[in-house]
Chains A and B, each alone.
Chain A
Amino acid sequence: MRAYGLPSGIGIATLVCVASVSAADLKAEAAAEVRYTLPTTEFALANGLRVIVREDHRAPTVMQMLFYKAGSLDELSGTTGVAHVLEHMMFRGTQQVGPGEFSRRVAALGGSENAFTMQDCTAYFTRIEKSHLPDIMELEADRMHNLALTRETFDREIRVVMEERRLSVEDKPEALLAEALRATAYSASPARWPVIGWQDDLHHMTWLDARAWYERWYAPNNALLVVAGDVDPASVRAQAERWFGAIPARPLPLRKPQNEPPQHGLKRIVLKASVSVPRVTLAFKTVPLEENPTAKHDAYALSVLAAVLDGYPNARLEKHLVREQRLADGVDASYSMVARGPQLFTLSALPAQGKSVKELEAALRSELKKIAQNGVGAEELQRVKTQLYAARVYERDSVFSQVMEMGLTEMAGHSWRTIEHMDEALNAVTAQEVQAVAARYFTDDQLTVATLVPQPVRSVTHLKNLTQKN
């Protein structure tokens, strides 16, 4: 039944942010409390497919996740959304397995399956009782090279995707705002378009676009298989050889960088929508963790900064803007350092009654300015690091989180082996470094401000005006 969840801020710490950011307390304490890295093995097949096996023997289950390094960052104008459309088509049958049959077979084995598309990659996952791993590996390998893409199945599925876009974006003002903001902040980078694609591009997409995408990117040498759970690496290796080993490698297209030109001056957009509460989002262009993640890097300090602002219930934004000044009824800070494309550091807020988005924008900027000028306290910094450490321990409870973290780290161009270094680097971030990145990145020349402006809403009166038919 519907739980009435009282909000404790707009967003809470989860997966990518904390998972990949995550980590580390005082080193001695960490060593005493938990060795959080479980046995992990990595190998590659002759055709270039890389495989990571993580052993977690708590339950007799296994998760298989196959990542393809092909996401919306690799799309071209005019066919935006094709990475995600292909993801849908991967469930629509192969030469051997009929449409929908993949899901029915997995279900018969008691598995649960799904897939997702991001900027960096597309991934397919199945969770199942461990004895069925060979079955799902066979199915996953089959659709890597035998997809039966037809005009008929495509024409039906593209309608589903357009429904999905209506559901998740078009009818959600806050999602439209985020989409418009990205499209404004970036002018050349493919990070400017939504992963789900523009509706008009979806409308004009054909089955040939999907097929071309499949042929371009779906090859073993562009994929990473992660298997985690109650498994033994040697038998996973034998199974992987058996099912994926014979799929030939293919030359991959050159990835052009499509770098974003420098921004000169603040960008600002306004979005009108049928909402009763306005919202303001500030997005600063920043960098992700780049090559050599073991080096000192701004991304670590930016991650700690995000946690100082919004990493625990009484963190700065909530404390100052919601509680002390009563300017906002919800606040959120977000930054992901592990990613392939350019990254935005965003601050978002809902004004409290009687407060304007203008006041709120000023207050958000003043919070950043305070850090740039005065830095952060030792207690605050330590608290954030404890949060990161605890999140790391708690993450062990979820096999899914562990697989996601390793896979997304790899898709961003870093080895899963560097995750531990990242933890240490985060733990080593100093107050001076946090202050320095606050001063360096939060300037008008990196900034885009997006405001959601309420339009008259019909719904309140109309709810009373129901048409009934008995």
Chain B
Amino acid sequence: MRIRTQFLYLAFATFLAAIMLGRPSAVLAEPLIQQWRTTSGAKVLLVEDHAIPMLDIQVNFDAGSRYDPPSRSGLAAMTARILRTGTRATQGCLGLTEAQIENHFADLGGVVSDTVDEDSAALRLRTLSIAPKRDAALATFAALLQCPSFPEKKLAREKQRIITVLKERSSRPQVQAEKTFSAAVFGAHPYGASPDPKGISTLTPAALSAFYRTHYDAQHAVLSIVGDCDRLQAERIAEQLMRALPPGAPRAVLPPVVPLASPREIKVPNSALQAHILLGAPAIARGDPDYFALLVANQVLGGGTLISRLGHEVREQRGLSYGVYSTFVPAAQPGRFQISLQTQKDQVPEALAVVRATLAKFIAQGPTQAELEAAKNYLVNSFPLQLDSNGKRLGIVATIGFYGLPLDYLNTWTARVNAVTREEAQAVFAKHVNLDKMVTVLVGAPE
């Protein structure tokens, strides 16, 4: 079942949620995050909230797609996915089939999901907090983490499914644009890779198991717990989930992200009516001292279609695109700065010229004082909205834990935004964004 998306049209694309990650709220500005380590060495972060009888638990393993070997893109994602398809009866775990695992969670009202990005693999459990259901759900969740059996038949099926989905998506202009863009921005660095059917087809249970043994260790794991659960219960849960994990092994040494040397424009043909345009380059890593100045500057440039310079020039003044955004995506290593828009094919030259001129002017002059104040107002005033549900809190807490951001990150957040000056915003933006070292990807533009 799903929302009736085909019947629902928004005034503008909602992109904010993605941009806002790492921008948490005053609600948590109080000393609400408790942190400790399990006896096995895993970092634990807890935010108690007893308003709703539910509990959210997320484990982030240092097992993201940056560790995929070049010929095996998709290994990290598939490993996380396959954890749910069977467990072995060992180490105190229950031996369960996929159907048993899923029916078990369904009977308890528990929901398990996984998200794998470049840096980490996150396994998540949402459960009712009433003790019998919670404990039963946790026992099964622990088994997935500690005793996966990597069943060959399930892997074969999932490989076929992923390949079908990749094929189904492969002709979409948006997918082509992202794939081309990542490869161009990050070159040979693993951040530039995208899963492809060929890499997927080479995956074996042995490869998954080896990846699991290397990367799913407690020492590098971060467990985030948000919801109806007190410290004592949380400590017990953390010990239970973080025991009997693999020993882990030294990670592959990753190359540095290399800045681009020159501008580059790449055209990919596509018969779609609209061209998809992406511009950008590698920018900053998590924890970069320039982060707050860039956050404010970017808010002015392209933080929201209806209130940004890019939105004003591209959509409001010229009606060229439904949405236009710019964003910084900091990661463990420098992540991307990116501007994205779509426009009817024959409008590409005009739209691109407008975007480039707007960006060039912004790099040269930075925000006006009024724009700077408006952006800071927005960021500071919207702070409480960033963490007003357990789901949002879980995401932010996990980010703080995984990237080792200071525990007072939330407490100091508004002060750091408020401290950004116009000169700083301009200087820092110009330092990290250079039109002469930027990739432009045009999918479906006229030949």
Cα distance A394–B124 when bound, in Å? Answer: 14
Indicate if A291 sits at the interface (CB-CB under 8 A).
no
Q: Which of A321-349 contact B (CB under 8 A)?
A: 322-323, 326, 329-330, 332-336
Cα distance A167–B378 when bound, in Å? Answer: 28
Instruction: Judge whether B8 and A195 touch: CB under 8 Å.
Output: yes
Query: Is the interface on chain B under 10, 10 to 19, 20 to 34, or 35 or more residues?
Result: 35 or more
Indicate if A297 sits at the interface (CB-CB under 8 A).
no
Instruction: Judge whether B128 and A33 touch: CB under 8 Å.
Output: yes
Counting chain A CB atoms within 10 Å of each CB, which of B1, B312, B329, B377 scores highest? B1
Task: Report if A6-B77 is in contact (Cβ < 8 Å); known contacts: A34-B52, A163-B342.
Answer: yes
Instruction: Judge whether A459 and B171 touch: CB under 8 Å.
Output: yes
Indicate if A77 sits at the interface (CB-CB under 8 A).
no
Instruction: Judge whether A310 and B1 touch: CB under 8 Å.
Output: yes
Instruction: Judge whether B6 and A179 touch: CB under 8 Å.
Output: yes
Whose C-beta in chain A lies nearest to the C-beta of B227?
A397
Indicate if A11 sits at the interface (CB-CB under 8 A).
yes
Indicate if B103 sits at the interface (CB-CB under 8 A).
yes
Cα distance A310–B389 when bound, in Å? Answer: 27
Instruction: Judge whether A129 and B385 touch: CB under 8 Å.
Output: yes
Cα distance A463–B265 when bound, in Å? Answer: 14
Q: Which of A375-424 contact B (CB under 8 A)?
A: 382-383, 386-387, 389-390, 393-394, 396-399
Indicate if A118 sits at the interface (CB-CB under 8 A).
yes
Residues in A neighbouring B274, C-beta threshold 8 A: 163, 166-167, 170-171
Q: Which of A3, A21, A110, A159 contacts B115 (CB 8 A)?
A: A3
Q: Which of A60, A117, A383, A396 contacts B8 (CB 8 A)?
A: A117
Q: Which of B109, B344, B390 contacts A390 (CB 8 A)?
A: B109
Indicate if A59 sits at the interface (CB-CB under 8 A).
yes
Indicate if B263 sits at the interface (CB-CB under 8 A).
yes
Chain A count of residues within 8 A CB distance of the other chain: 122
Task: Report if A110-B377 is in contact (Cβ < 8 Å); known contacts: A156-B316, A386-B106.
Answer: yes
Residues in B neighbouring A175, C-beta threshold 8 A: 6
Task: Report if A107-B103 is in contact (Cβ < 8 Å); known contacts: A329-B165, A466-B180.
Answer: no
Instruction: Judge whether B53 and A34 touch: CB under 8 Å.
Output: yes
Residues in B neighbouring A43, C-beta threshold 8 A: none
Number of A-B contacts (CB under 8 A): 329
Indicate if A15 sits at the interface (CB-CB under 8 A).
yes
Residues in B neighbouring A465, C-beta threshold 8 A: 269
Residues in B neighbouring A235, C-beta threshold 8 A: none
Cα distance A117–B437 when bound, in Å? Answer: 41
Residues in A neighbouring B317, C-beta threshold 8 A: 156
Instruction: Judge whether A314 and B103 touch: CB under 8 Å.
Output: yes
Instruction: Judge whether B160 and A462 touch: CB under 8 Å.
Output: no
Residues in A neighbouring B194, C-beta threshold 8 A: 2, 4
Residues in B neighbouring A32, C-beta threshold 8 A: 130
Instruction: Judge whether B164 and A353 touch: CB under 8 Å.
Output: yes
Indicate if A307 sits at the interface (CB-CB under 8 A).
yes
Instruction: Judge whether B9 and A116 touch: CB under 8 Å.
Output: yes
Instruction: Judge whether A127 and B385 touch: CB under 8 Å.
Output: yes
Which of A208-216, A242-250, A269-277 lies at the interface with chain B? A269-277
Q: Which of B2, B49, B114, B319 contacts A58 (CB 8 A)?
A: B49
Q: Which of B4, B262, B319, B343 contacts A118 (CB 8 A)?
A: B4
Per-residue CB contact flags for chain A residues 1-41 toward chain B (1 = under 8 Å, else 0) read 11111110011111111100100010000001110000000
Per-residue CB contact flags for chain A residues 164-177 toward chain B (1 = under 8 Å, else 0) read 10111011100100
Which of A47-55, A96-104, A363-371 lies at the interface with chain B? A96-104
Cα distance A159–B320 when bound, in Å? Answer: 7
Residues in A neighbouring B88, C-beta threshold 8 A: none
Instruction: Judge whether B306 and A103 touch: CB under 8 Å.
Output: yes
A70, chain B: closest CB distance, angstroms: 14
Cα distance A129–B414 when bound, in Å? Answer: 14
Whose C-beta in chain A lies nearest to the C-beta of B182?
A2
Per-residue CB contact flags for chain B residues 243-286 toward chain A (1 = under 8 Å, else 0) read 00000000000000000001111111111111000000000000
Per-residue CB contact flags for chain B residues 267-310 toward chain A (1 = under 8 Å, else 0) read 11111111000000000000000000000000000001011000
Task: Report if A6-B158 is in contact (Cβ < 8 Å); known contacts: A15-B3, A175-B6, A398-B391.
Answer: yes
Indicate if B381 sits at the interface (CB-CB under 8 A).
yes
Residues in A neighbouring B61, C-beta threshold 8 A: none
Cα distance A144–B162 when bound, in Å? Answer: 48
Cα distance A460–B130 when bound, in Å? Answer: 51
Instruction: Judge whether B3 and A115 touch: CB under 8 Å.
Output: no
Whose C-beta in chain B lies nearest to the C-beta of A401?
B389
Instruction: Judge whether B342 and A275 touch: CB under 8 Å.
Output: no
Instruction: Judge whether B164 and A277 touch: CB under 8 Å.
Output: yes
Instruction: Judge whether B377 and A108 touch: CB under 8 Å.
Output: yes
Cα distance A322–B111 when bound, in Å? Answer: 20
A194, chain B: closest CB distance, angstroms: 8
Cα distance A178–B4 when bound, in Å? Answer: 11
Instruction: Judge whether A470 and B263 touch: CB under 8 Å.
Output: yes
B184, chain A: closest CB distance, angstroms: 9
Residues in B neighbouring A90, C-beta threshold 8 A: 11
Residues in A neighbouring B114, C-beta threshold 8 A: 6
Q: Which of A59, A111, A322 contacts B388 (CB 8 A)?
A: A59
Q: Which of B210-258 contact A (CB under 8 A)?
A: none
Per-residue CB contact flags for chain A residues 298-313 toward chain B (1 = under 8 Å, else 0) read 0000000011001111
Whose C-beta in chain A lies nearest to the C-beta of B312?
A100
Q: Which of A254-272 contact B (CB under 8 A)?
A: none
Instruction: Judge whether B170 and A314 touch: CB under 8 Å.
Output: no
Q: Please provide the 10 A-B residue pairs with the shortest distance between their CB atoms, ordered closest to farther.
A: A110-B381, A390-B109, A159-B319, A11-B2, A59-B388, A110-B382, A103-B306, A314-B102, A329-B164, A17-B1
Give me 4 other A-B pairs in contact (C-beta within 8 A), A6-B78, A171-B272, A394-B54 excluded: A6-B80, A112-B385, A163-B344, A459-B268
Interface residues of A (CB under 8 A from B): 1-7, 10-18, 21, 25, 32-34, 58-61, 72, 84, 87-88, 90-91, 99-100, 103-104, 107-112, 114-119, 127-129, 132, 155-164, 166-168, 170-172, 175, 178-179, 194-196, 274-277, 306-307, 310-314, 319, 322-323, 326, 329-330, 332-336, 350, 352-353, 382-383, 386-387, 389-390, 393-394, 396-399, 457-460, 462-463, 465-470
The 8 sampled A-B contact pairs (Cβ below 8 Å) are: A1-B329, A110-B380, A111-B381, A118-B4, A128-B381, A166-B273, A330-B165, A399-B388
Interface residues of B (CB under 8 A from A): 1-4, 6-12, 14, 16, 25, 27, 49, 51-54, 65, 74, 77-78, 80-81, 98-99, 102-103, 105-111, 114-119, 126, 128, 130, 157-158, 160-165, 167-168, 170-173, 176, 178-180, 182, 191, 194-195, 262-274, 304, 306-307, 312, 315-323, 329, 331, 335-336, 342-344, 374, 377-385, 387-391
